[in-house]
């Protein structure tokens, strides 16, 4: 019974990741894009998929990856997330440098670019904070509040970025994945009680 539950949960998460990717793989837009642009787009989709796992790993909800093991995988997934975004932005840069310059300088005509760039910087900041946790000498609760706040910016920015784009992602599977990411993040935030306990501890 436990094994069945585990299989169901993991099956569900694999589907949550695989369905949007598979749907995007059938996009007619792919035919008119060169491999670098296609890779850049899929790196973005993979990043959104990884974003679904991050809060669940942080709290230890995934069966077989509870507590400390979950945290360790959370770190590796965070690294993969940074790598995916680097591939995403580099690929777009190679495809059309002026569009990426516009996005990075917040002068793009498309509002979703700004959301994406905000999410990118928040992601890099969250990753740096994680990498330098021993060096930054913050109190554990303060560190967690900072890291989680940045993660919330990453999630909101990424979801707004993805939803406003007309790209290779299929609309329904994109909205579904975005909803799951928001739900997983909200659930983790509530259960970790980052805000309330953090505020009390600082008094």
Partner 1 sequence: MTAVLFNRRTLLAASGAALVTGASGLRVPARAQGVSPTPTMRGGSNNYRPGAPIVKRIGGGGFWMSGTVRRAGDGAPLAGQRIQIWAHTTEGHERDWHSHGATLTDENGVFRLEMPQIVPAFGQAHGHLAYDSGDFKTVFLRPVMASSKDTSLEAHFVLQPA
Closest CA to 47 of 127, 110, 144, 101: 127
The distance of closest approach from Cβ of residue 191 to partner 1 in the complex, given in angstroms and rounded to an integer, is: 17
Comparison of 36 and 80: residue with beta carbon closer to partner 1: 36
CB 104, min distance to partner 1, A: 13
How far is residue 203's CA from residue 125's CA, in Å, rounded to a whole number? Answer: 26
Distance CA 99, CA 110 (A): 10
Query: Please, are residues 48 and 17 in contact by the beta-carbon 8 Å criterion?
Result: no
Rounded Cα gap, residues 183 and 185, in angstroms:
5
* Residue with Cβ nearer partner 1 (59 or 92): 92
CB of 109 to partner 1, least distance (A): 4
Interface residues toward partner 1, by CB under 8 A: 29, 31-34, 37, 92, 95-96, 98-99, 102, 107-110, 112-113, 156, 159-160, 163-167, 178-179, 182, 186
Nearer to partner 1, 107 or 202 (CB): 107
Shortest Å, Cβ 165 to partner 1: 4
> What are the C-alpha distances in Å from 148 to residues 48, 140, 187?
17, 12, 13
| Beta-carbon contacts of residue 127 (< 8 Å; ≥ 6 apart) | 78, 79, 81, 82
Smallest separation (angstroms) from partner 1 to the CB of 41: 10
**Residues contacting 64, CB < 8 A, separation 6+:** 6
Of 134 and 166, CB closest to partner 1: 166
Write the Ramachandran bin of 147: left for phi over 0, alpha for psi from -120 to 50, otherwise beta.
Answer: alpha
Nearer to partner 1, 76 or 106 (CB): 106
């Amino acid at each position: 019974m436990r094994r069945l539950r585990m299989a169901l949960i993991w099956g569900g998460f694999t589907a949550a990741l695989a369905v949007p990717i598979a749907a995007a793989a059938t996009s007619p837009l792919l035919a008119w894009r060169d491999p670098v642009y296609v890779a850049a787009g899929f790196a973005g989709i993979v990043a959104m998929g990884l974003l679904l796992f991050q809060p669940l790993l942080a709290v230890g909800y995934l069966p077989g990856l509870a507590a400390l093991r979950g945290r360790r995988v959370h770190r590796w997934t965070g690294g993969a997330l940074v790598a995916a975004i680097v591939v995403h932005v580099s690929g777009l840069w190679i495809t059309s440098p002026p569009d990426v310059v516009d996005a990075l300088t917040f002068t793009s005509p498309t509002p979703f670019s700004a959301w994406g760039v905000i999410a990118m910087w928040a992601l890099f900041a969250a990753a740096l904070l994680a990498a330098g946790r021993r060096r930054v000498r913050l109190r554990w609760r303060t560190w967690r509040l900072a890291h989680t706040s940045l993660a919330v910016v990453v999630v909101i920015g990424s979801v707004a970025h993805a939803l406003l784009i007309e790209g290779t992602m299929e609309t329904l599977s994109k909205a579904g994945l975005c909803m799951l990411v928001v739900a997983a993040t909200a659930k983790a935030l509530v259960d970790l009680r980052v805000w309330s306990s953090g505020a009390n501890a600082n008094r």
